[in-house]
Every structure is written in structure tokens, then in C-alpha cells.
A = this chain, B = another copy of it.
Amino acid sequence: MSLERTRIVLVGTTHPGNIGAAARAMRTMGLRDLCLVDPQCDPDDPEAVARAAGAGEVLEQVQRYPDLASALAGCRLAFGLSARIRAERQPRLALRPAAESAAAEGGEGGLAWVFGRERTGLTNAELDHCHYLVQIPTDADYSSLNVAQSVQLVAWELRMAAEVGGALPQPETEEPPAAVDTLERFFVHLEEMAGRVGYLDRHNPALTMRRLRNIFRRARLTEDEVRMLRGLLSHVLNPRRWRK
């Protein structure tokens, strides 16, 4: 894991001060890659610049995206911060073990940490894009962490895990997980197949697709495996290739 190449994604942030404070929090811990998805304020706002203090370069290099999927394109693993407990079976980790497993990841870049809106967090559809849901353990009676404070804690734990935890030796043959956009194209293909065979018509299509996505995201498919599964889908969709 490279701290410099770890991406912090803020979704729908409404207060410019939070963007500035997040930039400063990142910079103190050696992170630099800040992305904004659908920001509801201007990162050039004087309050953002003031709260960023000396970390203005992080703000200047900020990238904006219209939606989470495009902010995650090219990323291999997304960790979504969520205080809620969801019914869907997506792996949930507390912050420290999550940071430790991120630090143990091979490869230089491709890890993203996703933070939701000040009041409402991430939507279910956005959480579906994340491989892991990360919760920051807090006081049971008052769990309201500010988004910039959450970024500070995540950046700190990543730095500590990178320095203290040290990367676990990865088996040489272990392939990294497929890129997020590779996976997205697979999901589109899968949805086409599930629709074509009449399965989606008989079930709640959105829920079904969310559950299927969860399954394959949990499996942490490699590029090769995605190719294999798409080959299988192509055969299903092309009855001329079926066994006679």
C-alpha cells in the first residue's frame, strides 16, 4: 500500500470547511489523492482554503466526479465508511483491522476510502460499490463523527498500519483483485444475462442485482476470473454455442 496513492473520496460534501479540514488531515499523514463526488460546495471557498492551512496543494489537485462509480474507476478495492448496520452481507470491519488489511495489500495504488454526506452518509447504492464497509467504533450514545474527523482517523490508522504493521508477505502467485470498472462491466453483463433468462422479471431486479454484486465483490475476483465468468455468460447468451 502506498499512502500517497491511496485515494480519499468525499461524496456530496456540503461544508467547504470539511473539505479543507480533510485535506489537512490527509496531508499530515502523507496522503495526497483527494476526490470529490458531486460536491455541494466549492473546494475553492475561502473556508476550505483556511481550514486546509498549509495543505493547499491537496486542495489544488482535487479531482471532481459526477458519481462514485467514476471516482472509483481504476481502483481495486473500495472501503466505505458506514455507521449503519446493513442487512446485506457485505464484509464489515472496524477501522483498525480495515487499515491493517489495506496495508497488507500488495501493489502500489488502487485503494480508495469513501466518505458520505455530513447528515446522511452514503446511500445504499453507493455502499454497493464498496468491497468493505468500515465502521469507526465510537461511544454508543454519541457516534456522530464529523466527516473530516473520520478522514483524520482513517489517515492516521493507514499511516500507523503502513509503518507499524508492515506489509505481510504476499504469495507471489496471488493476483490482485480486478479493477472496479472491470467488475462494473461484468455486472452489466451479468444483469443482461439474468434479465434475458427471465430471472429478474420474477424477482425484485434491484435487490437481486445488489445481492449478486455483493457475492462477486466478496469473492474479490481477479481479472482472469472476470474473463472466465464473462466467457460463461457469453455462452449462455449465445444458444448456438450450446451443447447439441
Residues of A in contact with B (beta carbons under 8 Å apart): 21, 24-25, 27-30, 51, 53-55, 85-87, 89, 92-94, 96-97, 135-139, 142-146, 148-149, 152-153, 156, 159-160, 163-169, 171, 173-175, 193-199, 201, 203, 208, 211-212, 215-216, 218-222, 225, 228-229, 231-232, 235-236, 239, 241-243
Cα separation A156 to B166 with both chains bound (whole Å): 17
Cα separation A92 to B174 with both chains bound (whole Å): 11
Contact A149:B25 (CB < 8 A) given known A96-B160, A199-B231: yes
Least Cβ distance of A32 to chain B in Å?
A: 10
* Contact assessment for B243 and A145 in the assembled complex, using a CB-CB cutoff below 8 Å: no
* Contact assessment for B225 and A138 in the assembled complex, using a CB-CB cutoff below 8 Å: no
* Contact assessment for A29 and B197 in the assembled complex, using a CB-CB cutoff below 8 Å: no
Contact A243:B196 (CB < 8 A) given known A85-B169, A138-B28: yes
* Contact assessment for A198 and B242 in the assembled complex, using a CB-CB cutoff below 8 Å: yes
Cα separation A212 to B30 with both chains bound (whole Å): 39
Contact of A87 among B51, B171, B215, B242 (CB under 8 A): B171
* Contact assessment for B215 and A86 in the assembled complex, using a CB-CB cutoff below 8 Å: no
- Contacts of A89 on B, CB cut-off 8 Å? 174-175, 222, 225
Contact A28:B143 (CB < 8 A) given known A89-B222, A197-B232, A211-B228: yes
A151 closest partner in B (C-beta): B149
- Contacts of A137 on B, CB cut-off 8 Å? 159-160, 163, 166, 168
The 5 closest A-B pairs by CB, nearest first: A137-B166, A219-B219, A197-B235, A30-B139, A199-B235
* Contact assessment for A208 and B228 in the assembled complex, using a CB-CB cutoff below 8 Å: yes
Cα separation A96 to B159 with both chains bound (whole Å): 12
- Contacts of A135 on B, CB cut-off 8 Å? 168
A237 closest partner in B (C-beta): B197
A4 closest partner in B (C-beta): B139
Least Cβ distance of A171 to chain B in Å?
A: 4
Cα separation A164 to B136 with both chains bound (whole Å): 14
Cα separation A150 to B241 with both chains bound (whole Å): 49
Centre residue among A51, A164, A167, A242 by max chain B CB count within 10 A: A242
